[in-house]
Amino acid sequence: MHETSIVNSIIKTLEMEFEEEKLRKMRAIYLKVGKLSNIEPRLLHNAYGAYNYCGSKYHEVDLHIESTEIKIQCEICNHITQVKNYRFICENCERPSKNLIEGEEMLIHKVEFED
């Protein structure tokens, strides 16, 4: 289950980015996870829950995951299309496109702190 290592990476990234005092005020982490990222949001939530057992440093910090759709940009007409049913076809000119612009990411989108 690679979601456990992803949770570890998220926590390490936040610990490198913010000072300890700021981390103590952290209340929520917001992620954007693309449908092609090979990350299962449910498993990521489970791994985060296991990492943050009661009494751990971040056990009160909530994890929110937004799943992002797959989008392509046509190489011919430059139109952006939201991919449906894994058909990578431009909805404007109906040509296939492999120019993926969204859907593979795993981003820490926002971090929420108490006032």
Return the percentage of the chain with pLDDT > 70, whole number: 97
Residues 3 and 40 sit within 8 Å (Cβ to Cβ) = yes
Residues 39 and 48 sit within 8 Å (Cβ to Cβ) = no
pLDDT score, position 54: 63
Residues 106 and 37 sit within 8 Å (Cβ to Cβ) = yes
Q: Is 89 helix (H, G, I), strand (E, B) or coil?
A: strand
| pLDDT (average), residues 97-108 | 95
Parallel/antiparallel/unpaired status of strands 71-73 and 80-82: antiparallel
CATH code at 3-68+103-113? 3.30.2320.50
pLDDT score, position 56: 78
How many helices and strands in the chain, by DSSP H and E? Answer: 3, 6
Residues 102 and 4 sit within 8 Å (Cβ to Cβ) = no
Predicted model pTM: 0.85
The tokens of 113 are what? 């702190």
- The residue extents of the domains of the chain are 3-68+103-113
Tell me how far CA of residue 6 lies from CA of 3, 88, 98, 102, in angstroms. Answer: 5, 28, 27, 19
